[in-house]
Amino acid sequence: MKKSLVLAMAMALGVTASAYAANPFSDVPAGHWAYDSVNKLAAAGIVDGYGNGTFGGDRLMTRYEMAQIVAKAMAKGANVDRLAAEFADELDSLGVRVAALEKKSDNVKITGQIRAMYQGFDKAFASKNAADKADFKKASSTLRTRLWLTGQVNENWNYVGMLQNEQNLINDKGDEGTDFQRAFVTGRIGGVKVEAGRNNTTLAAKNVYDNRTDAIKLGFGKDVKVGLQYGKANPGSGAQKADKYLAATVEGKVGNLGLNAGYYAFDDVAIFTKTNGKLQDANIWSVGADYNFGDLKLDAMYLASDVDKVNDYKVDDDGWTIGLAYKGAKAAKANSYGIYGKYYDLGGGVVIDHGMNSDLGDNLNQGKIKGQTAGVHGFKGYMLGVNYAVAKNIVAAVEYYDLEAKRGGVDDQVIWSELVFTF
């Protein structure tokens, strides 16, 4: 055994030789250059000599003998990946998993989330479920399970996939579906952050859009961040929201003040029909700001669109929101909590698929409330919410919405709640 190999193997164990009794080998006396290292290896059960009280340090070892030593070191938790790769065939014959392969498997991580959700509406709304088109619902409840798979491609690139199962708990029909909802890669090309594939996309703080897209996304800058996106606004299941879309955003901070702006162009928006039945495009702009007062955060946003008419109905082509939040529950910190609220005054021309936790915003905007004239309306009203980490990785939230459609005088209230387990 060479000097460098003995020392490297001993260092990999991460303990000092003084912790052990004198070594048992007569040919490695005290004062020998390898005394401490051999002592450590022998005490840890990594080497046992040749059974005659000698270590045999000057004797050439076979590859099989060396593989045995590597296998024992691996069992003790030593980092000997390079040696394991060199003796992979011999280790395989010994029934030992090669460290390089173990490391590769560790690059694939599985995380998950289980969410139990309930929302109860004051007024009934048309169900999104194709099997229940004739029904009007006043409540919905689902159990959603998500599994994320993250694989490291190399030092700069990762792959992410997400599998989702959702079960309808409001009826006895056994409604459920499982699909592979997200699949994308993230990485860098030079100083540009890149994401490509199917993932969830939020635009204008969820006021314009919050759903899946098939897109490529580019990010530039550090203090002032510029984002560019191009793709298709299609969630992959259910109704298509629009055809192609383009988004350009910029954001930055000045002390505690955050500023943001965005431009969003959508082709053939599903809810924006003309009098001839054809779909029309939408160009939407947003400017926003937020200010951090420590635990308290204030935010506001203004939005405008070139869509002011849908079918024969005139719709508001602008809107605004204002929000206030105090702290916020953190899944990793038990007993953390947050209180928050938001006021909405959004014209129908700026909302394509709103991202509030309740379905109420989209229901009012798209005419899904029973007794409401079909079409794009816009809505106004407020939301109040609270979240609380009941234990580590278990967060509960309750939100109350009171919104009114801008056309037709139809309003509705909803209580939305969830309990989320993260693992």
Relative to beta strand 296-305, strand 318-327 is antiparallel
94 shares its domain with 157: no
Tell which wins on pLDDT, 179 or 215. 215
- Mean pLDDT within 153-178: 86
pLDDT at 115 over 70: yes
Domain with 20 in it: 3-105
What's the DSSP call for residue 174?
-
Work out the pLDDT band at 72, boundaries 50, 70, 90.
Answer: confident
Q: Mean pLDDT of all residues in the chain?
A: 85
Q: Are 403 and 261 part of one and the same domain?
A: yes
Question: Which pLDDT score is estimated for 385?
Answer: 98
User: b/e string for 245-262 if b means 16 or more Cβ within 10 A?
Assistant: bebebebeeeeeebebbb
Q: Are 236 and 209 in contact (CB under 8 A)?
A: no
| Window from 74-78, 135-139, 142-146, 211-215 with minimum mean pLDDT | 74-78
114 - beta bridge partners?
145, 421
For 231, phi then psi, to 5°, come to 175, -150
Q: CB neighbours of 24 closer than 8 A, spacing ≥ 6?
A: 42, 49, 53
Q: Residue 258: pLDDT above 90?
A: yes
Q: Kindly state whether residues 191 and 155 are assigned to the same domain.
A: yes
Which residues make Cβ contacts (< 8 Å) with residue 330, sequence separation at least 6?
336, 389
Rounded Cα distance between 257 and 251, Å, is 11
pLDDT band with cut points at 50, 70 and 90 for residue 30: confident
- pLDDT, position 100: 47
CATH number, domain containing residue 223: 2.40.160.10
pLDDT of residue 187: 94
Report d(CA 266, CA 243) in Å as an integer. Answer: 7
When divided into structural domains, the chain yields a total of: 2
| Cα distance between residue 358 and residue 370, in whole Å | 17
Q: Does position 376 have pLDDT exceeding 70, yes or no? A: yes
Q: Give the whole-angstrom CA distance, residue 73 versus residue 76.
A: 5
- The residue among 69, 84, 105 that closes a domain is 105
Final residue belonging to a domain, choices 105, 123, 146: 105
What is the arithmetic mean of pLDDT over 93-107? 55
Residues 231 and 256 reside in one and the same domain: yes
Examine the fold and report which residue of 86, 105, 124 is the final residue of a domain before the chain moves on.
105
Residue 2 pLDDT more than 60?
no
CA atoms within 13 A on the CB side of 6: 21
How much is the average pLDDT of 103-119? 81
The mean-pLDDT minimum among 11-20, 130-139, 203-212, 384-393 falls in 11-20
Residues 120 and 95 in one domain: no
* Residue 35: per-residue pLDDT: 76
User: Do 12 and 122 fall into the same domain?
Assistant: no
pLDDT at 32 over 50: yes
Question: Measured between alpha carbons, how far is 161 from 381 in angstroms, rounded to an integer?
Answer: 36
Do 100 and 122 share a structural domain? no
| Mean pLDDT across 155-168 | 92
Q: What is the pLDDT of residues 263-316, one digit of tens each?
A: 999 999 999 998 888 999 999 999 999 999 999 999 999 999 999 999 888 999
The verdict on 285 and 342 lying in the same domain is yes
**Whole-number Å distance between alpha carbons of 406 and 417:** 26
Percent of the chain residues past pLDDT 90, beyond the cut: 53
Read off the pLDDT of residues 331-347 as tens digits, 9 standing for 90 and up.
989 999 999 999 999 99
Do the Cβ atoms of 198 and 183 come closer than 8 Å?
A: yes
Question: What's the token pair of residue 298?
Answer: 């204030």
Best-predicted range by mean pLDDT (76-85, 151-160, 189-198, 372-381)? 189-198
Q: Are residues 228 and 191 in the same domain?
A: yes
**Are residues 417 and 333 part of one domain?**
yes
Q: Are 389 and 358 in contact (CB under 8 A)?
A: no
Determine the pLDDT at residue 234.
Answer: 78
78 and 188, same structural domain?
A: no
Burial class for 95, CB neighbours closer than 10 Å (0-12, 13-18, 19+): exposed
Residue 336, classified by CB atoms within 10 Å of its CB into exposed (0-12), middle (13-18) or buried (19+), is middle
Domain co-membership, 24 together with 115: no
